[in-house]
């Protein structure tokens, strides 16, 4: 997506440790007109699917999913990161290793909000090693719902999450794929 790549080039900051900061338009301050274009693009890419729910993970996934969901006219469910695992059987749970925070979170979704009738689009801001998306897929599988695809705003193509998911036959649509980035020069190159 040309508009997104231009914005990443202009405002993205490459940090040490393979982290791309996009706080000025996506992860802290949010550019809603850009997100609207992102929503339209996901709708176009997944036009052939019958999605009835979008699943994401807090925190930064929520704003993105909420805007994208308007183009699909479906509700958003977000997985919650929690300290205390609920043992009464009312939630689906999984563990997710956080790339940016270097720790493992327990993540839950209430059984009330995912069922075998659901056709799910998973949405997230970044795809790196794939742990966040794999955790959400684990929850979808526990619920018996159908995964229709994964919509990612920025995939870091030099990390192997995207490759692993596609090898499993999962449909992954990334609006920008970063092929390489250099913290010393700030240079970012995209895959097309
Ligand atoms: P993964 O689980 O695929 O390794 O990492 C994806 C998650 O980590 C995303 O939910 C995102 O919040 C965070 N993340 C991974 N890489 C980056 C990055 O380069 N920049 C930012 N801002 N977040 C990232």
| pLDDT tens-digit map of 115-164 | 999 999 999 999 999 999 999 999 999 999 999 999 999 999 999 999 99
CA 99 to ligand 1 centroid distance, Å: 6
CA 185 to ligand 1 center in whole angstroms:
21
How confident is the model over 50-106, as pLDDT tens digits? 999 999 999 999 999 999 999 999 999 999 998 776 667 899 999 999 888 888 999
Residue 100 has a pLDDT of 81
Q: How far is the CA of 125 from the centre of ligand 1 (A)?
A: 7
CA 70 to chain centre: 16
Ligand 1 pocket residue status of 127, Cβ below 6 Å: yes
Q: Give domain limits for the chain.
A: 2-190
CA distances from 107 to 91, 119, 146 (A): 10, 20, 19
Fold assignment, 2-190: Rossmann fold (3.40.50)
- The CA 88 to ligand 1 mean position distance, Å, reads 31
pTM assigned to the model: 0.96
Candidate from 56, 97, 128 with most ligand 1 atoms within 8 A of CB, to mutate:
128
Strand ranges (E), 65-164: 76-82, 91-97, 104-110, 119-127, 146-156
Question: How many alpha carbons fall within 13 Å on the CB side of residue 159?
Answer: 17
């Amino acid at each position: 997506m040309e508009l997104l790549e231009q914005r990443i080039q202009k405002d993205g900051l490459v940090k040490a440790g393979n982290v791309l900061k996009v706080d000025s338009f996506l992860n802290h301050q949010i550019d809603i007109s850009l997100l609207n274009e992102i929503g339209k693009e996901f709708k176009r890419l997944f036009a052939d699917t019958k999605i009835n729910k979008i699943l994401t993970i807090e925190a930064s996934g929520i704003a993105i999913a909420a805007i994208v969901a308007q183009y699909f006219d479906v509700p958003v469910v977000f997985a919650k990161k929690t300290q205390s695992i609920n043992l009464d059987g009312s939630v689906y749970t999984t563990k997710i290793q956080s790339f940016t925070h270097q720790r493992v979170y327990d993540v839950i979704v209430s059984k009330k909000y995912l069922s075998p009738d659901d056709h799910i689009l998973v949405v997230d801001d970044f795809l790196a090693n794939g742990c966040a998306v794999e955790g959400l897929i684990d929850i979808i599988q526990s619920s018996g719902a159908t995964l229709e695809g994964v919509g990612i705003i920025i995939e870091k193509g030099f990390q192997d999450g995207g490759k692993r998911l596609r090898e499993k036959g999962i449909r992954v649509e990334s609006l920008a794929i970063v092929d390489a980035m250099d913290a010393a020069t700030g240079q970012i190159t995209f895959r097309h």
